[in-house]
């Protein structure tokens, strides 16, 4: 994939009212993101509406901010985009990752649970994550309070991925800022949102 096509694909997914499904449909119909971007205003006009596409300058600034944070993009279609994720209809067309991207290609097990978990449940989650890691699994969780936090702590040494609902530079909850940085330095941190995006409720699956 050329650098220009990568840029235009990111611009397409950042455009208003374009989600994972419509993104795929547009690429399938027009072949390239550039052609899709050029077609969007005309298609909207034919339907009696108006549509805009993401500003190129804003996308350039996002890319610069992402690089400054030591993160990189994985786009759907890249060789190292997680294969199982790519088969999902709602898979994010663009991921921003910071850390060891190779972890996303290993066998993964998702662990999620209550934020207000009991002490016993937290101990169990950490032990389970540790044992899964010892058996070669990468533990994936969401860096939330409670079970998610313990799942990451139990698998830091073996490999863990934190999938967050904010920009790669935003720690949420705030008390997990140090843990989030540990993942970025020694494991993997992933998001589909641009830097600076706050953890809004609608971003949580």
For residue 3, the SS3 value is helix
Residue 83 pLDDT = 87
Specify burial of residue 13 (Cβ count, 10 A radius: 0-12, 13-18, 19+).
Answer: buried
pLDDT tens digits for range 73-94: 999 999 999 988 888 989 999 9
Residue 22 pLDDT = 94
- Mean pLDDT (whole number) for 90-103: 96
Residue 202 pLDDT = 73
Phi, psi of 137 (to 5 degrees): -90, 145
Q: With beta carbons less than 8 A apart as the criterion, state whether 196 and 167 touch.
A: yes
Could you give the percent of the chain with pLDDT greater than 90? 85
The CATH code of domain 101-203 reads 3.40.50.450
Q: With beta carbons less than 8 A apart as the criterion, state whether 152 and 162 touch.
A: yes
Specify burial of residue 102 (Cβ count, 10 A radius: 0-12, 13-18, 19+).
Answer: exposed
* Residue whose token pair is 């999938």: 163
The domain ranges of the chain are: 3-54, 101-203
Residue 137 has pLDDT above 80, yes or no: yes
Q: With beta carbons less than 8 A apart as the criterion, state whether 183 and 93 touch.
A: no
pLDDT tens digits for range 29-84: 999 999 999 999 887 667 666 778 999 999 999 999 999 999 999 999 999 999 88
Q: With beta carbons less than 8 A apart as the criterion, state whether 153 and 69 touch.
A: no
Q: With beta carbons less than 8 A apart as the criterion, state whether 26 and 12 touch.
A: yes
**CA-to-CA distance for 164 and 191, rounded, in angstroms?**
5
Across the chain, mean pLDDT equals 94
For 198, the token pair is 């706050």
Given CA atoms 197, 72, 177, 169 in this order, what sign does their dihedral have?
Answer: negative
How many residues does the structure list for the chain? 205
Residue 170 pLDDT = 96
Residue 35, phi-psi category: left (phi > 0), alpha (psi -120 to 50), beta (remainder): alpha
Q: What pTM was estimated for this model as a whole?
A: 0.91
């Amino acid at each position: 994939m050329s650098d220009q096509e990568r840029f235009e694909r990111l611009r397409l997914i950042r455009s208003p009212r374009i989600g994972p499904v419509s993104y795929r449909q547009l690429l399938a119909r027009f072949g390239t993101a550039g052609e899709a971007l050029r077609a969007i205003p005309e298609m909207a006009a034919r339907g009696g509406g108006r549509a805009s596409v993401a500003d190129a300058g804003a996308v350039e600034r996002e890319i610069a901010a992402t690089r400054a944070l030591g993160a990189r993009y994985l786009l759907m279609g890249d060789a190292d985009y997680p294969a199982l994720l790519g088969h999902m209809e709602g898979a994010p067309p663009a991921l921003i990752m910071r850390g060891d991207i190779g972890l996303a290609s290993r066998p993964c097990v998702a662990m999620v649970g209550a934020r207000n978990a009991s002490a016993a449940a937290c101990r169990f989650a950490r032990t389970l994550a540790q044992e899964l890691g010892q058996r070669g699994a990468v533990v994936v969780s969401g860096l939330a309070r409670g079970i998610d936090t313990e799942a990451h702590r139990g698998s830091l040494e073996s490999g863990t991925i934190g999938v967050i609902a904010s920009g790669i530079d935003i720690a949420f909850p705030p008390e997990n800022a140090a843990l989030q940085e540990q993942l970025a330095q020694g494991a993997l941190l992933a998001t589909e949102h641009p830097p600076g995006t706050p953890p809004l409720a609608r971003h949580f699956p």
